Structure 1
């Protein structure tokens, strides 16, 4: 069932729906809920049977860890231990918000949540529905949640995206509208005083460096080996083949496919002359040049055209600028299987 909620303000009826979701979680149920990043597929983080169900429903490898969502910063040292001061500093500055901290896990977290690792990803989401749900499940409780979609596919940013694939497999979908950020959280880890970026996301690296007053090291260079969500080469992918090209090659490829009577969606951030893509079997969509706005709408756009009868999705390679890092990461992984 889908429960529709006004994400800005919850009235009594809506609070009752969140309370119903909280009861389901406490009984071992599975609830899809909105966050500011994407919709999560949530269960009681201490219920190992429920956690295993999430892996089964998503068809997710059991060594691929889940993120633990908490309702208040004061709960951090219940779910993690040996927390470095840099982690506290980032939590105080960015939480609630799209930042996940990889920390030494506490004994309260089962192995199945962390994929058997001694670390855990923890975050405090910034969506009113998620926060209310977290605060209703009771003291010393948290929600373990990956994105509410099949493993490796496009993350959901609306309840409709969740319903399209999981509606008959889970107990409830809380509809809190479209996700404000639209991309997953930034994931940060800490090792011997060094801060590592394990996944770019909703918080820019530059903002993190400004708060810490020190550089953040890319996971591609010297980061310790830590399995985190969304880090495999192929991920966030539509079923329709998606390929990335710089603009001249993009136009050339689209026209070649059109000449073969193939239907193609062409997505650019650059402005181009409509005559360059004039074939009737080419659908051209121009996205925003603002990376924040682009990120907010990316997954919804991919969902829309993945469900339509197109043979290919061709996308313009994002600018090589720090503000576009998370978008570049998602599109590279989404296109990996079709390189």
Structure 2
């Protein structure tokens, strides 16, 4: 799939799979991710199993289409909104206080949720067509040297029997997103990743 200009028919095919509870692997502006429709419990359970996690330990982030629908899922203060506006779309995961609309498996013990708006057309168009955010979790490699698999052909070989679709959007990155915790009074960088935060 063309990373800047994906074919609408291809996007529709993937969305149809997501609507049926499918699990897909897709490129982002950082590393390849595994995802599904956040409203489909069975699909989320498949991802949890795929990642080898216990449901209570599974705190995933999700991809929103833009800042306009973030208020549906999280509490966003004015300073946080301004910070996000300066840095999104981009390689950041913002940790925000979650609202009860968010399914439980996305909320941490502190009732926070991770939100991404990647600077990549494929996941943004998937979310737009689907009408819901999609779960996102990085595709880790079992290799101890290479933390993230970036070659879509290798990803396909490793995951073709575990997921419904692997989207080839070209060679991916191997540096994850920068995680910014905005659930307290001041933003705190929890993980230095690809993005450099602009204040």
Q: Above 0.5 in TM-score?
A: yes
User: Match for residue 186 of structure 2?
Assistant: 194
- Counterpart selection for 1:109 from 102, 106, 109: 102
Q: Does 1:64 find its partner at 2:54? A: no
Which runs of 5 or more structure 1 residues have no equivalent in the other structure? Answer: 212-339
| TM superposition shift of 1:192 | 4.2
SS in 1 for 2:50: helix
User: Match for residue 281 of structure 1?
Assistant: none
- Counterpart selection for 1:147 from 135, 138, 144: 138
- Counterpart selection for 1:22 from 5, 15, 32: 15
| TM superposition shift of 1:86 | 2.7
Contact 1:57 1:150 in 2 (8 A): no
Q: Deviations over 1:251-294 (max 9, x none)?
A: xxxxxxxxxxxxxxxxxxxxxxxxxxxxxxxxxxxxxxxxxxxx
In the alignment, the residues of structure 2 paired with residue 109 and residue 49 of structure 1 have an alpha-carbon distance, to the nearest angstrom, of 16
- Counterpart selection for 2:130 from 114, 126, 137: 137
In structure 2, do the counterparts of structure 1 residues 33 and 200 end up closer, same or farther at CA, with 3 Å as the change threshold?
Answer: same
Contact 2:63 2:115 in 1 (8 A): yes
In the alignment, the residues of structure 2 paired with residue 40 and residue 99 of structure 1 have an alpha-carbon distance, to the nearest angstrom, of 14
In the alignment, the residues of structure 2 paired with residue 50 and residue 151 of structure 1 have an alpha-carbon distance, to the nearest angstrom, of 23
**Bigger relative CO (Cα 8 Å, ≥ 6 apart):** 2
Q: Does 1:157 find its partner at 2:150? A: yes
TM-score (norm 1): 0.54
In structure 2, do the counterparts of structure 1 residues 191 and 169 end up closer, same or farther at CA, with 3 Å as the change threshold?
Answer: closer
Contact 1:100 1:188 in 2 (8 A): yes
Q: Deviations over 1:302-324 (max 9, x none)?
A: xxxxxxxxxxxxxxxxxxxxxxx
- Counterpart selection for 1:174 from 167, 177, 187: 167
TM-score (norm 2): 0.90
| TM superposition shift of 1:116 | 5.1
In the alignment, the residues of structure 2 paired with residue 126 and residue 54 of structure 1 have an alpha-carbon distance, to the nearest angstrom, of 23
Q: How many aligned residue pairs are there?
A: 196
Contact 2:112 2:183 in 1 (8 A): no
In the alignment, the residues of structure 2 paired with residue 187 and residue 21 of structure 1 have an alpha-carbon distance, to the nearest angstrom, of 28
| TM superposition shift of 1:169 | 0.5
In the alignment, the residues of structure 1 paired with residue 99 and residue 126 of structure 2 have an alpha-carbon distance, to the nearest angstrom, of 22
Contact 1:58 1:150 in 2 (8 A): no
Which runs of 5 or more structure 2 residues have no equivalent in the other structure? Answer: none
Contact 1:37 1:184 in 2 (8 A): yes
| TM superposition shift of 1:106 | 1.6
Structure 1 or 2: more helix by fraction:
1
| TM superposition shift of 1:41 | 0.5
| TM superposition shift of 1:160 | 2.2
User: Match for residue 307 of structure 1?
Assistant: none
Contact 1:51 1:113 in 2 (8 A): no
User: Match for residue 79 of structure 2?
Assistant: 86
In structure 2, do the counterparts of structure 1 residues 152 and 198 end up closer, same or farther at CA, with 3 Å as the change threshold?
Answer: farther
Q: Which one has the largest radius of gyration?
A: 1
In structure 2, do the counterparts of structure 1 residues 149 and 19 end up closer, same or farther at CA, with 3 Å as the change threshold?
Answer: farther
